[in-house]
């Protein structure tokens, strides 16, 4: 399993450099940047001490949707509750949420928003679940690099565990395929947008067994609908 740390429009080069250093110290390699600042500047490289290779290999995208093109499970981080989702999961819950679906996903994105205003509602809707860090005070808030460090530290125990797991090729993308199928079926039967969004959000909490079970059910429903079309 790959975990991609994805920063959306980071404005401060030093934050990107410190984020690169944070993920490398926790054993991660993948940094993705959406419309970033000058992330290869001297200031960024100074803060990336020992992790300049992460900066130089960072993948750059023009939109968050583009950066998530190959990700099965997407976790958005936010300090404020928005209208985009109903549930907000504590950072400490994220490792177990990933573990429960480790046989059904191959790539996870941890998405971090802008220093000034975080992720907007449109970007939050691209995420399967949202996560936040509980704080004693609302201000001062954690900065971007600190937030990346805390998530990298929190999810780092998951990586060696899932690497040992034997994942069947046929199962590896079941969660992504399930989302596509459920999304299409709900549109087909005109499920109301609020219910549609809520169901898609709850899919993010399913574990491997439930993913496989629901995937089989949806495939069966799909087959029945196709058979009726042919008749």
Domain residue ranges of the chain, discontinuous segments joined by +: 2-164, 174-230
The CA–CA distances, whole Å, from 151 to 41, 83, 154 equal: 25, 23, 5
pLDDT at 231: 45
- Comparing CA positions, the residue from 17, 18, 42 lying closest to residue 150 is 18
Please name the residues in contact with 183: beta carbons below 8 A apart, sequence gap of 6 or more.
196, 200
At residue 75, φ and ψ (nearest 5 deg) are: -115, 115
pLDDT at 206: 95
Write out pLDDT tens, residues 99-117. 999 889 999 999 999 998 8
User: Is the distance from CB of 203 to CB of 178 less than 8 angstroms?
Assistant: yes
- Comparing CA positions, the residue from 69, 68, 14, 24 lying closest to residue 46 is 14
pLDDT at 80: 77
At residue 57, φ and ψ (nearest 5 deg) are: -95, 0
At residue 107, φ and ψ (nearest 5 deg) are: -145, 130
Please name the residues in contact with 96: beta carbons below 8 A apart, sequence gap of 6 or more.
none
CA angle 128, 130, 132 (to 5 degrees): 160
CATH architecture type of domain 2-164: 3-Layer(aba) Sandwich (3.40)
Residue 231: asked if its preceding bond is cis (omega within 30°), the reply is no
Please name the residues in contact with 172: beta carbons below 8 A apart, sequence gap of 6 or more.
103, 104, 105, 106
Paired residues of 90 in beta bridges: 132
Q: Give the strands of the sheet with 59-61, arranged side by side.
A: 59-61, 30-34, 2-8, 107-112, 73-77, 129-132, 88-90
pLDDT at 159: 75
pTM of the model: 0.92
Question: Tens place of pLDDT for every residue, the chain, 231 residues?
Answer: 899 999 999 999 999 999 999 999 999 999 999 999 999 999 999 999 999 999 999 999 999 999 999 999 999 999 877 666 778 999 999 999 999 998 899 999 999 999 988 999 999 999 999 999 998 887 777 899 999 999 999 999 987 776 666 666 666 788 999 999 999 999 988 999 989 999 999 999 999 999 999 989 998 888 887 766 644
pLDDT at 138: 73
């Amino acid at each position: 399993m790959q975990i991609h740390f994805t920063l959306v429009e980071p404005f401060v080069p030093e934050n990107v450099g410190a984020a690169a250093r944070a993920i490398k110290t926790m054993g991660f390699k993948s940094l993705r940047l959406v419309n970033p600042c000058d992330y290869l500047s001297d200031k960024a490289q100074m803060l990336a001490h020992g992790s300049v290779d992460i900066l130089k290999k960072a993948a750059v995208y023009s939109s968050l949707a583009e950066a998530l093109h190959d990700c099965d499970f997407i976790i958005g981080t936010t300090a404020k509750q928005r209208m985009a989702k109903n549930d907000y999961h504590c950072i400490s819950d994220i490792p177990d949420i990933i573990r429960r679906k480790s046989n059904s996903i191959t790539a996870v994105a941890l998405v971090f928003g802008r220093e000034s205003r975080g992720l907007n509602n449109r970007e939050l809707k691209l995420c399967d679940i949202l996560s936040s860090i509980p704080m004693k005070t609302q201000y001062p808030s954690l900065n971007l690099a600190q937030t990346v460090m805390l998530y990298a530290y929190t999810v780092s125990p998951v990586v060696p565990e899932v690497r040992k797991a034997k994942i069947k090729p046929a199962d590896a993308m079941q969660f992504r395929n399930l989302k596509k199928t459920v999304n299409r079926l709900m549109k087909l039967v005109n499920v109301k947008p609020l219910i549609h969004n809520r169901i898609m959000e709850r899919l993010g909490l399913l574990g491997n067994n439930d993913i496989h079970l629901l995937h089989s059910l949806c495939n069966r429903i799909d087959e029945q609908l196709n058979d009726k079309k042919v008749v």
